[in-house]
């Protein structure tokens, strides 16, 4: 077998494309299935609203699918583009782009199915609130997509940056670490954001008068839930754009790869945890809007504590990049 540069790039692009679409198909499918299941429940509860319910289910599923469509775009680009470079770093970057987008689509796909499901359930309970519930679902699902958009940005940067002048040895690990950091860290925040939006759709259906407060708190909660994904994005940017010195030793490269893994895996838990914390806040503000101030403060403090583990991961990741 001859492994010249051209072949290597082609192999990497196919591998990356396959990983992007394969992993990218996981999340959206789960989210959409959950939405459809809840729509069936809602229909059996309130058969008169069948038309509206059907529409809401389809719209919700379409938005949940967008994370997968991002993965499809990346996979198509990887499969059908010509890459001029023959460097090993570029090959590694193409695989990393696939990994980043593939993992990044998992969380947002699952997450944005949850508000759609809650909106269907809520419409069965409160048919008069259909329009507002749909709006709330659209806003919640759109914000849920943010982590997958971060993964997409990283994937594009990895594909279109010229790495051919970089020193091969540590740089291959740096770009791979960058892809993993952005991709894995998007999983938790995607799911967490979905849990928050689900709680808000449910809350509005229970207590329509609380709508304005609930939307504000939901956006706030989702925004803070995205922090782990943003820290992952930061680490991946540092890994991509940092100048690395050429070396024969294996350790510096592995340190960079480990830094990406540390940030990526370390951000999954905080993302989900903050989502759960914030969903509690949203849920109880919807039932008891007069205590919104106190509840918001407790929610914010709780989220900050849940976030601290993501910050520990970031500290270790930065130490791995700059100190070790």
Nearest partner of 116 among 66, 49, 53, judged by Cα: 53
Residue 81 region, left (φ>0) first, then alpha (ψ -120 to 50), else beta?
beta
Residues 147-186 interacting with other proteins (rule: CB under 8 A): 149-150, 152-153, 156-157, 160
Instruction: Return the number of the residue (155 or 258) whose C-beta is nearest other proteins.
Output: 155
Q: CA 268 → CA 58, 217, 225, 248, 285, distances in Å?
A: 29, 22, 11, 33, 26
CA-based max dimension of the chain: 71
Tell me: does residue 300 bind other proteins (CB under 8 A). yes
- Least Å distance, CB 246 to other proteins, is 25
Total binding residues toward other proteins, as defined by CB under 8 A = 38
Q: Are residues 117 and 38 in contact, defined by beta-carbon separation less than 8 angstroms?
A: yes
Compute the least distance from the CB of residue 45 to other proteins, in Å. 31
The SS3 assignment for 43 reads helix
- Is 308 a binding residue for other proteins by CB under 8 A? The answer is yes
53 or 306: whose CB is closer to other proteins? 306
> Dihedral of the CA atoms 249, 250, 252, 256 (nearest 10)?
160
CB 21 to other proteins: min, Å: 15
CA distance 62 to 143: 15
Q: Is 19 helix (H, G, I), strand (E, B) or coil?
A: helix
Using the rule CB under 8 A, which residue among 169, 226, 278, 279 binds other proteins? 226
The minimum distance between CB 111 and other proteins, in angstroms, equals 16
Identify the residue among 134, 146, 200, 279 touching other proteins (CB under 8 A). Answer: 146
Q: Which of 11, 167, 219, 276: binder of other proteins (CB under 8 A)?
A: 219
Q: Closest CB to other proteins among 26 and 73?
A: 73
Three-class DSSP category at 93: helix
Closest by alpha carbon to 60, among 111, 113, 6?
113
Least distance CB 39 / other proteins (angstroms): 23
* Interface with other proteins (CB under 8 A): 70, 73, 76-77, 138-139, 142-143, 146, 149-150, 152-153, 156-157, 160, 216, 219-220, 222-224, 226-227, 230-231, 233-234, 292, 297, 300, 304, 307-308, 311-312, 314-315
């Amino acid at each position: 077998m001859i492994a010249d540069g051209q072949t290597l790039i082609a192999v990497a692009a196919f591998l990356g494309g396959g990983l992007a679409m394969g992993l990218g198909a996981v999340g959206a499918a789960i989210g959409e299935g959950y939405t459809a299941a809840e729509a069936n429940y809602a229909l059996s509860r309130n058969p008169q609203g069948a038309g509206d319910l059907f529409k809401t289910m389809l719209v919700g599923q379409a938005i949940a699918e967008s994370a997968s469509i991002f993965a499809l775009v990346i996979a198509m680009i990887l499969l059908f583009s010509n890459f001029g470079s023959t460097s090993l770093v570029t090959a590694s970057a193409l695989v990393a782009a696939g990994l980043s987008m593939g993992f990044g689509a998992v969380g947002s796909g699952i997450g944005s199915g949850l508000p759609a499901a809650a909106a269907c359930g809520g419409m069965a309970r409160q048919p008069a609130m259909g329009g507002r519930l749909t709006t709330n679902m659209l806003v919640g699902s759109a914000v849920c997509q943010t982590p997958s958009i971060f993964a997409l940005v990283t994937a594009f940067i990895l594909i279109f940056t010229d790495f051919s002048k970089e020193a091969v040895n540590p740089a291959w690990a740096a770009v791979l670490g960058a892809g993993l950091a952005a991709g894995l860290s998007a999983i938790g925040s995607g799911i967490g954001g979905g849990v928050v939006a689900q709680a808000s759709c449910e809350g509005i259906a229970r207590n329509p008068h609380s709508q304005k407060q609930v939307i504000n708190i939901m956006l706030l909660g989702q925004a803070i839930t995205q922090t782990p994904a943003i820290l992952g994005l930061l680490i991946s940017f540092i890994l991509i754009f940092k100048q690395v010195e050429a070396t024969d030793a294996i350790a510096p490269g592995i340190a960079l790869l480990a830094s990406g893994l540390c940030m990526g895996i370390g951000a999954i838990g905080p993302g989900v945890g903050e989502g759960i914390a914030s969903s509690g806040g949203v849920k109880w503000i919807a039932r008891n809007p007069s205590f919104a101030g106190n509840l918001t403060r407790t929610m914010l403090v709780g989220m900050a504590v849940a976030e601290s583990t993501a910050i520990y991961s970031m500290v270790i990741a930065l130490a791995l990049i700059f100190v070790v």
